Structure 1
Amino acid sequence: MTPNGTDKLPLKVALLGCGVVGTEVVRILTTRADDLAARVGAPLEIAGIAVRRAGRERDIAVDPALITTDAQALVSRGDLDLVIEVIGGLEPARGLILTALEHGASVVTANKALLAEDGPTLFAAAEKYQRDLYFEAAVAGAIPILRPLRESLAGDDVTRVMGIVNGTTNYILDKMDSTGAGFDEALEEAQALGYAEADPTADIEGFDAAAKAALLASLAFHTRVSIADVHREGITDVSATDIASARAMGCVVKSLAICELDEATDSVSARVYPAMIPQSHPLASVRDAYNAVFVESKAAGQLMFYGRGAGGAPTASAVLGDLVSAARNRLKEVPGVGESSYTQRAVRPMGAAMTRYHVSLDVADKAGVLAAVAQAFAEHDVSIQTVRQEGRGGDAQLVVVTHTATDAALSTTVETLRDMDIVREVSSVMRVEGD
């Protein structure tokens, strides 16, 4: 019997990266070793930690003998059972994961960008070598959303996944709504609190959320969706006026990742952009830097997953959950559930997506303007739900909310409005979702 209460030899675990998340993973593996061993059925032994700089001070004591700067040599050892990859980026992460799988280790990764870019290559390798490739931590931090999609809802038909999957953008939009702050001010506050990087491009321009949307769509609809298939818009153009307009409609502005199945054409779509949603929608109440994912399926109906979407401890929680599952499978020498892409559905272009628009127009204050604007919408087969005029004279503004139409028809309508003499400016265009 081992000191951990099992009669199994330790499973050897290698860690690639020891930053914020990696440090927390090491802490949990060390401080909760006995508990994890009982859950797995065998001890988990840290066999090596690959880092960029060996001499760097870390927040947790690590045996110097475990530290190496040669990640390739570490994953090529051949005696590893499990490899955790938390270095991020495309390379060298891709090559290291493939090498680890080739040399017999199952892999747990938090690398959403790599999976969204080249997931099929990694999944094919995992299947070839009969090893697990788990990635719960790649989407929404501690929130268990990927495993429910992959396993709990495996017997159901998911029709829609809509979520707030980036804590930085949610924090910024929430502060703009609750305090009246402008975008730049809210971004600076997010950076000061550590919610946003010094270079926040991946978050505020939607790249991070788009990678997560690709993974969600792939799992939900059993088809391969890459980040190139995801329509992406950031939040940099969201103004205080947009926030106020949403409030006037009983809505809030959220940056949403939306994945949908169109049964009529048996195709899927995935998109990321800021949109107005009704205050009555469950996602509207998601505040601060939290994440939430709203799932709709035929049998289960509507499901909501909510929690912390980033940070060392929340992400490490997801990593350790995958690690325990992969370790159990390794003891049985049977891989768990792998990639499911049997449907091979086509991915619809953004123009075919069905949505609604909220359009604000600065217009000339004279007779016939409303009729001319309404005619422009009618010419593109877009029905108007509501319209109101604000201001007079040089400050006259029309606010139009449409019924559902294709995004292509709505976009073309807006371009037509921009070319009209009576329209001084199309001051704001935002989609409306969540009805």
Structure 2
Amino acid sequence: MAEVAISLKGVSKCFKRYARPVDRLKEILLPGKSRAVPFWAIQEIDLEIFRGETIGIVGQNGAGKSTLLQVITQTLTPTSGQLTVNGRISALLELGSGFNPEFTGRQNVFFNGRILGLSQAEIEQKFDTIVEFADIGDFIDQPVKTYSSGMFVRLAFAVAVNTDPDILIVDEALAVGDVYFQQKCFIRLRELREAGVTLLFVSHDSSAVCKLCDRAILLEHGRVILDATPRQVVDLYEAKLLQKQDQAPERIAIQMPQASTDAAITSTSVQLKYVQFLDADNHAIQSAFSDSKVQLAIGLTFLERMEDPHVGFRMRNRTGEVVFESNTFCMKHSIGAVEAGSSIEARFQFHLPLLAGDYTITIGIAEGGFSEHQFKRVLTMLHNTAVLKILQNPNAILWAGIVNLNPTFEIYRSSSTPDETLIEL
């Protein structure tokens, strides 16, 4: 049986809110009467995280994600419930935490290392690795208060991942920094994951959660409303975001994910009749070779008149990572007004420059596009409506990655005469 790294049983955290600053003073001077309004940031959290697991924590702003992490790292004491942590935690929480702005980067490395339980000799042994990973040059000997946010995160992340943690917690910090450093961070996170480190990863990047995590939890109003696969959690999270953005959110029904299905949002305005793949000759198919051309046919029946309906699709790989997503509004196509009771078939044609494997299709239907991925009404979004198996193309080059760039290759050699132009061979 797997060893439990973190256990929370009925954990809650309550803060006091005061309508006016003077109310806090009155409560101190006149004890016995509370003038505060209780705010429960997290409520009755029951959660077990096993050693070596990578857990994504997802939720809208104010859902309680940061409070939960602070309780786990024991920088906040829970109001009620029981917390058990087995192993040394290294955490990268909100920007600025854990570093003294008056200290230099070098001093903060040693200061944080000692907090994490390392000896002076152990920190000295790891110091060069930390500095090399942070790549901030001579700023390592400058006060941290002079650092940019990107430089700060570089050093903080370098300390967190290079001090042999048993448990690593990262709270949205990777959103700061350039693309090169973000790539370095994800490579290091994968290395730690393979080494058996327990990872808690908070991010609004759905693709990163699906790609990195074994499991995810969705927080809402301080409670865990779903503990499931990353893809199921991301689907429900995105469905709730769409509901929140809609002009009439109360009319959108969200279906909670079950064991074998994903969350969906539905309405009574449109029916999805069928989704199928077709080859170039309009024959129904369930598989296709990589690099071949296919069609995605979507049958719809509108139950009310609509002035500006739009349809789109999302293709995801086996881990739930989105490999492509678009819709007719973003493609600058118009379906035009439709009458109640009318049916249409929308067809998308595209090539498949993808690795062999199984890919799922999510269908979205909306009305009234007004900006990128923004619509006046979200009519429906249904996940896993179709699966396409992509087969390795025997006539194509061998390649790896996300998409096939279909590269060509040429060699240019210079002649022995400096003045002559390059000669193509």
Global fold match (TM > 0.5):
no
The structure richer in strand per residue is 2
Larger radius of gyration: 2
| Higher relative contact order (CA closer than 8 Å, sequence separation 6+) | 1
> Which structure's residues are more often helix, by fraction?
1
